[in-house]
Structure 1
Amino acid sequence: MSILKLDQTINVLNDMNSTKESWNVVVRVLRLWFVQDFMKQKIPFSLEMVLQDEQGVRIHASVRRTLIYKFQSQIYEGHVYSIQSFSVTSNLGSYRTTKHAYKINFQYGTKLNAFLSAGEVDNAVISIEFAKVKFFRDNIYVQNCIDCTRVEYNVLTEEALLLKKRMLETMDSPSQRLSQLCESSKQTHEDEFLHSTARNTIAGLKDCREVNTFIVLVTIKHVVDDNDLWYKVQLRVINDIDSTTFMLFDREASSLLSKSCAEMFESHDKNENLLNEFAEILEKNVLFKVDSKMDKGFRANL
Structure 2
Amino acid sequence: MANSYTLLTDLKAGRCSNTAEVRLLRLWEARNGSRNSRRSGELMSIDMLFVDENTTMMQATIVAARQRRFRQFLKEGSVYSLTGFDVARSNTKYRLSDAAISIRFNDGTLLAKIESTDRTIPMEIFRFRPYNTILGLGNRGEDLPG
**TM-score when normalising by structure 2:** 0.71
Name the counterpart of 2:8. Answer: 13
1:36 aligns with 2:31: yes
Structure having greater relative contact order (Cα 8 Å, sep ≥ 6): 2
1:25 aligns with 2:20: yes
Name the counterpart of 2:133. Answer: none
Q: Which amino acid aligns with 1:63?
A: I
Q: Deviations over 1:235-265 (max 9, x none)?
A: xxxxxxxxxxxxxxxxxxxxxxxxxxxxxxx
Measure how far apart 1:44 and its partner are.
Answer: 1.0
Matches within 5 A, 1:90-109: 90-109=89-108
Find the residue that maps to 1:76 and give its secondary structure: coil
Q: Which amino acid aligns with 1:37?
A: N
Q: Which amino acid aligns with 1:72?
A: R
Q: Deviations over 1:187-241 (max 9, x none)?
A: xxxxxxxxxxxxxxxxxxxxxxxxxxxxxxxxxxxxxxxxxxxxxxxxxxxxxxx
**Rounded Cα–Cα distance in structure 1 between residues aligned with 2:44 and 2:89:** 20
**Rounded Cα–Cα distance in structure 1 between residues aligned with 2:42 and 2:112:** 26
**Rounded Cα–Cα distance in structure 1 between residues aligned with 2:102 and 2:13:** 9
Q: Which amino acid aligns with 2:11?
A: M
Going from structure 1 to structure 2, the CA distance change for 1:89 and 1:75 (only over 3 Å counts) comes to same
**Rounded Cα–Cα distance in structure 1 between residues aligned with 2:95 and 2:115:** 30
Matches within 5 A, 1:124-163: none
Matches within 5 A, 1:205-284: none
Name the counterpart of 1:81. Answer: 80
Tell me the matched-pair count: 114
Name the counterpart of 2:129. Answer: none
Name the counterpart of 2:71. Answer: 72
Structure 1 stretches of 4+ with a deviation exceeding 4 A read none
Q: Deviations over 1:84-135 (max 9, x none)?
A: 000000112212111111100001220001011346xxxxxxxxxxxxxxxx
Going from structure 1 to structure 2, the CA distance change for 1:36 and 1:10 (only over 3 Å counts) comes to same
Find the residue that maps to 1:85 and give its secondary structure: strand
- What are the ranges of 5 or more consecutive residues in structure 1 without an aligned counterpart? 1-5, 120-302
Find the residue that maps to 2:68 and give its secondary structure: helix
Find the residue that maps to 2:72 and give its secondary structure: coil
Q: Deviations over 1:12-37 (max 9, x none)?
A: 01111115421210000111000012
Measure how far apart 1:64 and its partner are.
Answer: 0.4
**Rounded Cα–Cα distance in structure 2 between residues aligned with 1:68 and 1:95:** 20
Measure how far apart 1:8 and its partner are.
Answer: 3.5
Give 1 or 2 for the bigger CA radius of gyration.
1
**Rounded Cα–Cα distance in structure 1 between residues aligned with 2:79 and 2:15:** 23
Name the counterpart of 1:112. Answer: 111
**Rounded Cα–Cα distance in structure 1 between residues aligned with 2:42 and 2:48:** 18
Name the counterpart of 1:61. Answer: 60
Name the counterpart of 1:264. Answer: none
